[in-house]
Chains A and B, each alone.
Chain A
Amino acid sequence: MDKCRINIVIIEPSDIIFEGLSILLLKTGQRIYLYRISDFDELSNLSEKEKINIVIQNPVILQNRMNYFTKLKKQYPDILWFGLVYSYFDSELLNKFNEIISISDTIEIITKKLNNQYKQCGCKNNLQEELSEREIDVLVQLVKGLSNKQIADKLNISIHTVISHRKNIIEKTGIKSLSGMTIYAISKKIISLDMAVL
């Protein structure tokens, strides 16, 4: 629902560092939710509940576990991996990360690093709510009671495109149920009352 919210998991044994980093991250101006875990094992549990965007970790826990890290990256292809570095590490290890935050980084640098990486995640920071013409076409058919397949046939587009339009409609309007969308469509005068299947 909240597409611009960034869920960040921090794996850092030191309380002082964790607290300090948390405060800086919350000051970056991004909508950040923080989770702290002590080991990768907890990641699977957490990722079931929340979509994790970024994991920030002390590379110490990965030292001599390079294969394990490669496996993790495969297991969670959507996660961005940040290293939090405050001592010397082999560059081979550091290169495995998408980004490195150094202990001496200022808030400006951290913000920049976060923004650089996060834009690549496809978050457009776009809060525009107007539905596009095509989305309106799909919405109209949806509230008439047509299935994805029927809509695809009627509008001459693929089912995947229909599904992706649906997803966008839900994101933009904040409304998931068909009956909710119907009310939306009527109140925005997209369809008239007698067109809808209520």
Chain B
Amino acid sequence: MSDLINENYSLLMLLEHLNIDFAVGDKTVSQICKENNISKSVFLVVSNLYNGFYPDKGDIHSISDIPIIIRLLKNSHRFYKEDKYPEIKEYLMKLHDKHNTEDIKLIEKFFNDYFNEVLEHLDYEEQTAFPYFCQLIESESIQQESNFSAREYKEHHSDIETKLTDLKNLMLKHITFKNDLPLRRKFLYCLFELEFDLNIHSMIEEMILLPLITKVEKQLLNG
């Protein structure tokens, strides 16, 4: 495991999302997964995403993997809400303190509006989508009155990455500042890190979780 982390330290984010301690010693991936009660196939497919490889169809096929994937997604929500977004907000406030320009005020407003949208989206997933998925794997039939489905999830799945990319491009290409490179570097690093993790987050949802949920729905519908 430590080899993997040395190779790509972004995996630390994955470990954190899975509540795996960073002090991995000389343990192998199998051992760590076993100790933490995590399916090895899930771990491998997701860490491959962090390394830039897409999953193949059927890499994750076991319905029993759904709970761990949901746990992973929920933990990464916490990471966004309590860690990354507040960090970005703080950098922006610091930038604002030093450069009291119209541009930075606009950027701050842009970010705050965007952050609210993100919170709304994450809440929706936590309060509507995930409970539905959990209930689905435990139930034996689809309740007819349930007006929610994987398909709806997909449609609702708003594109929170777009505005983040916009923010990054505004900072990199269009808004000019004088000096403050260290602060701006930290700010940009943070945006890149968040963008990277969000991108993987939505890939997990779209390429792993959704196909699994659709499969369960089909099975239940066919009795």
Contact = CB atoms under 8 A, between A and B. Distances in A.
Interface of A: 1, 45, 49, 129, 173-177, 179-180, 182-184, 186-188, 193, 198
Contacts of B103: 183, 186-187
B163 interface: yes
B162 interface: yes
Nearest to A175: B166
Interface of B: 54, 57, 102-103, 106-107, 109-110, 113-114, 162-163, 165-167, 169-170, 173-175
Most chain-A CB neighbours within 10 Å: which of B113, B114, B163? B163
Most chain-B CB neighbours within 10 Å: which of A45, A174, A188? A174
Contacts of B110: 179-180, 183
Contacts of B162: 176-177
B174 A173 contact: yes
Contacts of A179: 110, 113-114, 163, 166
A195 to B, nearest CB: 13
B102 A174 contact: no
B174 A177 contact: no
Contact of B170 (A1, A45, A129, A180): A180
A186 B169 contact: no
Contact of A187 (B54, B57, B169, B175): B175
Contacts of B165: 1, 174, 176
Nearest to A35: B54
Contacts of B173: 129, 173-174
A49 B109 CA distance: 33
Contact of B57 (A45, A49, A173, A174): A45
A184 B162 CA distance: 15
Q: 3 nearest interchain CB pairs?
A: A180-B166, A174-B169, A175-B166
Contact of A184 (B54, B109, B163, B174): B174
A177 B163 contact: yes
10 contacts: A129-B173, A174-B166, A176-B163, A177-B162, A179-B163, A180-B110, A183-B106, A183-B174, A187-B106, A188-B174
B170 A183 contact: yes
A196 to B, nearest CB: 9
Contact of A198 (B57, B109, B175): B109
B208 to A, nearest CB: 14
Contacts of B174: 173, 175, 183-184, 187-188
A42 to B, nearest CB: 9
Contact of A173 (B54, B102, B169): B169
A49 B57 CA distance: 13
Contacts of A176: 162-163, 165-166
A157 B162 CA distance: 28
A177 to B, nearest CB: 5
A126 to B, nearest CB: 16
Contacts of B107: 183
Nearest to B106: A183
Contact of A175 (B57, B106, B114, B170): B170
Contacts of A187: 102-103, 106, 170, 174-175
B175 A175 contact: no
A179 B107 CA distance: 10
Most chain-A CB neighbours within 10 Å: which of B57, B106, B110, B163? B106
Most chain-B CB neighbours within 10 Å: which of A45, A173, A176, A180? A180
Nearest to A46: B54
Contacts of B106: 182-183, 186-187, 198
Given A174-B165, A177-B163, 7 more contacts: A173-B169, A179-B163, A180-B110, A183-B106, A186-B102, A193-B102, A198-B106
Nearest to A181: B166
B168 to A, nearest CB: 8
Contacts of B163: 176-177, 179-180
